[in-house]
Chains A and B, each alone.
Chain A
Amino acid sequence: DAEITQSPRHKITETGRQVTLACHQTWNHNNMFWYRQDLGHGLRLIHYSYGVQDTNKGEVSDGYSVSRSNTEDLPLTLESAASSQTSVYFCASSESRRGRETQYFGPGTRLLVL
Protein backbone atom coordinates (compact mmCIF):
# COMPACT_ATOMS: atom_id res chain seq x y z
CA ASP A 1 0.00 0.00 0.00
CA ALA A 2 1.13 3.53 -0.72
CA GLU A 3 2.12 5.49 2.32
CA ILE A 4 3.98 8.48 3.67
CA THR A 5 6.60 7.94 6.35
CA GLN A 6 8.59 10.26 8.56
CA SER A 7 11.80 9.66 10.45
CA PRO A 8 12.78 9.91 13.14
CA ARG A 9 9.49 9.79 15.01
CA HIS A 10 11.08 11.41 18.06
CA LYS A 11 14.19 13.57 18.24
CA ILE A 12 15.96 15.44 21.01
CA THR A 13 18.65 17.90 20.00
CA GLU A 14 20.55 20.84 21.38
CA THR A 15 20.29 24.50 20.51
CA GLY A 16 22.50 25.39 17.56
CA ARG A 17 22.71 21.92 16.02
CA GLN A 18 21.61 21.19 12.48
CA VAL A 19 18.73 18.73 12.30
CA THR A 20 17.19 17.02 9.30
CA LEU A 21 13.76 15.41 9.37
CA ALA A 22 13.02 12.92 6.63
CA CYS A 23 9.78 12.51 4.70
CA HIS A 24 9.24 9.75 2.14
CA GLN A 25 6.08 9.04 0.18
CA THR A 26 5.21 6.18 -2.13
CA TRP A 27 2.00 7.73 -3.48
CA ASN A 28 3.96 9.16 -6.45
CA HIS A 29 2.49 12.54 -5.57
CA ASN A 30 4.01 15.63 -7.12
CA ASN A 31 3.19 17.90 -4.18
CA MET A 32 4.75 17.70 -0.73
CA PHE A 33 4.37 19.89 2.33
CA TRP A 34 5.87 20.43 5.76
CA TYR A 35 3.83 21.75 8.70
CA ARG A 36 4.48 22.36 12.34
CA GLN A 37 1.83 21.91 15.00
CA ASP A 38 1.91 23.88 18.20
CA LEU A 39 -0.68 24.15 20.93
CA GLY A 40 -3.11 26.95 20.14
CA HIS A 41 -1.91 27.38 16.56
CA GLY A 42 -3.22 24.42 14.64
CA LEU A 43 -0.97 23.44 11.73
CA ARG A 44 1.18 26.04 10.04
CA LEU A 45 2.87 25.63 6.69
CA ILE A 46 6.67 25.74 6.69
CA HIS A 47 7.70 24.85 3.12
CA TYR A 48 6.18 23.10 0.17
CA SER A 49 7.17 21.67 -3.19
CA TYR A 50 5.15 21.16 -6.34
CA GLY A 51 7.69 18.97 -8.05
CA VAL A 52 11.36 18.02 -8.33
CA GLN A 53 13.64 21.04 -7.90
CA ASP A 54 10.67 23.21 -6.87
CA THR A 55 10.51 24.62 -3.32
CA ASN A 56 8.44 27.43 -1.84
CA LYS A 57 8.27 29.20 1.51
CA GLY A 58 5.23 28.91 3.69
CA GLU A 59 3.91 30.98 6.55
CA VAL A 60 6.65 30.06 9.06
CA SER A 61 9.74 29.30 6.96
CA ASP A 62 12.42 31.23 8.89
CA GLY A 63 15.11 28.87 10.18
CA TYR A 64 14.04 25.99 7.92
CA SER A 65 15.04 24.78 4.48
CA VAL A 66 13.98 22.00 2.11
CA SER A 67 15.27 20.48 -1.10
CA ARG A 68 13.51 18.23 -3.60
CA SER A 69 15.82 16.03 -5.63
CA ASN A 70 13.28 13.30 -6.41
CA THR A 71 9.53 12.74 -6.31
CA GLU A 72 9.50 10.60 -3.17
CA ASP A 73 11.44 12.69 -0.64
CA LEU A 74 11.27 16.15 0.91
CA PRO A 75 13.71 16.45 3.82
CA LEU A 76 13.29 19.38 6.20
CA THR A 77 16.44 20.92 7.65
CA LEU A 78 16.69 23.11 10.71
CA GLU A 79 19.89 24.99 10.03
CA SER A 80 20.59 25.93 13.66
CA ALA A 81 17.96 24.53 15.98
CA ALA A 82 16.30 26.93 18.43
CA SER A 83 14.08 26.18 21.42
CA SER A 84 11.23 27.90 19.57
CA GLN A 85 11.41 25.10 17.02
CA THR A 86 10.32 22.51 19.58
CA SER A 87 7.17 21.21 17.95
CA VAL A 88 5.46 18.34 16.19
CA TYR A 89 6.31 18.28 12.50
CA PHE A 90 4.04 16.78 9.86
CA CYS A 91 4.81 16.00 6.28
CA ALA A 92 2.00 15.69 3.74
CA SER A 93 1.60 14.98 0.05
CA SER A 94 -1.05 15.48 -2.61
CA GLU A 95 -1.40 14.77 -6.28
CA SER A 96 -1.47 17.46 -8.91
CA ARG A 97 -4.78 17.38 -10.61
CA ARG A 98 -7.57 19.87 -10.85
CA GLY A 99 -9.98 19.30 -8.04
CA ARG A 100 -9.47 18.25 -4.48
CA GLU A 101 -5.69 18.01 -4.11
CA THR A 102 -6.40 16.25 -0.82
CA GLN A 103 -3.34 16.19 1.38
CA TYR A 104 -2.42 12.95 3.13
CA PHE A 105 -0.27 13.18 6.21
CA GLY A 106 2.63 11.26 7.67
CA PRO A 107 2.61 10.15 11.32
CA GLY A 108 4.57 13.19 12.55
CA THR A 109 7.93 13.80 14.21
CA ARG A 110 8.17 15.14 17.75
CA LEU A 111 11.20 17.41 18.05
CA LEU A 112 12.52 18.74 21.34
CA VAL A 113 15.26 21.38 21.23
CA LEU A 114 17.06 21.81 24.55
Chain B
Amino acid sequence: AQKITQTQPGMFVQEKEAVTLDCTYDTSDQSYGLFWYKQPSSGEMIFLIYQGSYDEQNATEGRYSLNFQKARKSANLVISASQLGDSAMYFCAMRERGNSGYSTLTFGKGTMLLVSP
Protein backbone atom coordinates (compact mmCIF):
# COMPACT_ATOMS: atom_id res chain seq x y z
CA ALA B 1 0.00 0.00 0.00
CA GLN B 2 1.20 3.47 -0.78
CA LYS B 3 2.15 5.52 2.25
CA ILE B 4 1.22 8.82 0.63
CA THR B 5 -1.60 9.08 -1.89
CA GLN B 6 -2.32 12.14 -3.97
CA THR B 7 -5.34 11.26 -6.05
CA GLN B 8 -5.42 14.38 -8.24
CA PRO B 9 -2.84 14.23 -11.03
CA GLY B 10 -3.87 17.72 -12.13
CA MET B 11 -6.01 20.58 -10.90
CA PHE B 12 -7.19 23.77 -12.53
CA VAL B 13 -8.20 26.90 -10.66
CA GLN B 14 -8.91 30.48 -11.61
CA GLU B 15 -6.85 33.29 -10.22
CA LYS B 16 -8.06 34.57 -6.84
CA GLU B 17 -10.05 31.41 -6.10
CA ALA B 18 -9.20 28.91 -3.37
CA VAL B 19 -8.09 25.38 -4.19
CA THR B 20 -7.66 22.22 -2.14
CA LEU B 21 -5.04 19.61 -2.98
CA ASP B 22 -5.74 16.20 -1.47
CA CYS B 23 -3.33 14.01 0.43
CA THR B 24 -4.00 10.84 2.39
CA TYR B 25 -1.38 8.91 4.31
CA ASP B 26 -0.86 5.55 5.93
CA THR B 27 1.28 4.96 9.00
CA SER B 28 1.20 2.97 12.21
CA ASP B 29 3.44 5.49 14.01
CA GLN B 30 1.89 7.70 16.68
CA SER B 31 4.45 10.44 16.05
CA TYR B 32 4.85 11.62 12.48
CA GLY B 33 4.95 14.79 10.45
CA LEU B 34 3.32 15.90 7.22
CA PHE B 35 4.88 18.32 4.77
CA TRP B 36 3.91 20.03 1.55
CA TYR B 37 6.48 21.08 -1.02
CA LYS B 38 6.08 23.13 -4.19
CA GLN B 39 8.06 22.43 -7.35
CA PRO B 40 7.73 25.15 -9.99
CA SER B 41 8.76 24.60 -13.58
CA SER B 42 12.29 25.75 -12.70
CA GLY B 43 12.66 22.51 -10.76
CA GLU B 44 13.59 23.46 -7.21
CA MET B 45 11.75 21.96 -4.23
CA ILE B 46 10.32 24.61 -1.93
CA PHE B 47 9.06 23.81 1.57
CA LEU B 48 5.59 25.25 2.17
CA ILE B 49 4.03 23.98 5.37
CA TYR B 50 4.34 21.41 8.16
CA GLN B 51 1.87 19.63 10.43
CA GLY B 52 2.91 17.45 13.35
CA SER B 53 0.74 14.51 14.33
CA TYR B 54 0.29 15.92 17.83
CA ASP B 55 -0.49 19.45 16.70
CA GLU B 56 -4.05 20.25 17.71
CA GLN B 57 -4.48 23.17 15.37
CA ASN B 58 -4.23 23.15 11.62
CA ALA B 59 -1.00 24.69 10.36
CA THR B 60 -1.12 27.95 8.44
CA GLU B 61 1.59 29.82 6.54
CA GLY B 62 0.32 32.92 4.77
CA ARG B 63 -2.03 31.81 1.98
CA TYR B 64 -1.33 28.14 2.71
CA SER B 65 -3.19 26.11 5.28
CA LEU B 66 -3.21 22.43 6.01
CA ASN B 67 -6.55 20.76 6.68
CA PHE B 68 -5.44 17.98 9.02
CA GLN B 69 -8.00 15.26 9.75
CA LYS B 70 -6.15 12.70 11.82
CA ALA B 71 -8.91 10.10 12.06
CA ARG B 72 -9.31 10.13 8.31
CA LYS B 73 -5.51 10.23 7.80
CA SER B 74 -5.76 13.18 5.47
CA ALA B 75 -3.62 16.29 5.21
CA ASN B 76 -5.03 18.45 2.45
CA LEU B 77 -3.32 21.65 1.35
CA VAL B 78 -5.55 24.67 0.92
CA ILE B 79 -4.28 27.61 -1.10
CA SER B 80 -6.40 30.70 -0.73
CA ALA B 81 -6.60 33.49 -3.32
CA SER B 82 -4.63 31.61 -5.98
CA GLN B 83 -2.02 33.52 -7.95
CA LEU B 84 -0.50 32.78 -11.35
CA GLY B 85 2.77 32.04 -9.58
CA ASP B 86 1.13 29.16 -7.73
CA SER B 87 1.16 27.10 -10.93
CA ALA B 88 3.49 24.24 -10.04
CA MET B 89 3.70 20.62 -8.97
CA TYR B 90 2.80 20.08 -5.31
CA PHE B 91 4.08 17.16 -3.26
CA CYS B 92 2.77 15.84 0.01
CA ALA B 93 5.31 14.01 2.19
CA MET B 94 5.27 12.16 5.50
CA ARG B 95 8.07 11.91 8.05
CA GLU B 96 8.08 8.78 10.17
CA ARG B 97 10.69 6.94 12.15
CA GLY B 98 11.66 3.69 10.47
CA ASN B 99 13.13 0.48 11.85
CA SER B 100 16.59 2.07 11.73
CA GLY B 101 15.45 4.65 14.26
CA TYR B 102 16.03 7.45 11.78
CA SER B 103 13.33 9.69 10.37
CA THR B 104 12.87 9.71 6.61
CA LEU B 105 10.42 11.33 4.23
CA THR B 106 8.10 9.46 1.89
CA PHE B 107 6.66 11.51 -0.96
CA GLY B 108 3.45 11.25 -2.91
CA LYS B 109 3.48 11.36 -6.68
CA GLY B 110 2.38 14.95 -6.80
CA THR B 111 -0.45 17.12 -8.11
CA MET B 112 0.07 19.59 -10.95
CA LEU B 113 -1.77 22.84 -10.27
CA LEU B 114 -2.48 25.27 -13.08
CA VAL B 115 -3.80 28.72 -12.25
CA SER B 116 -5.54 30.55 -15.07
CA PRO B 117 -6.09 34.31 -15.35
- A and B part of one assembly: yes
Chain A residues in the interface with B (C-beta under 8 A): 33, 35, 40-45, 48, 50, 56, 58, 88, 90, 92, 99-105, 107-108
3 closest A-B pairs (Cβ-Cβ)?
A: A105-B45, A42-B107, A43-B107
Contact A102 B102 (CB under 8 A): no
Pairs A–B under 8 Å by Cβ, sample size 6 = A33-B104, A40-B109, A56-B100, A101-B33, A105-B37, A105-B46
Count of B interface residues, CB-CB < 8 Å: 24
Contact B33 A100 (CB under 8 A): yes
Main SS of the interface on chain A?
strand
Chain B 77-117, CB within 8 Å of chain A: the 1/0 string? 00000000000000101010000101111111110000000
A residues within 8 A CB of B93?
43
Partner of A107, one of B44, B52, B102, B105: B44
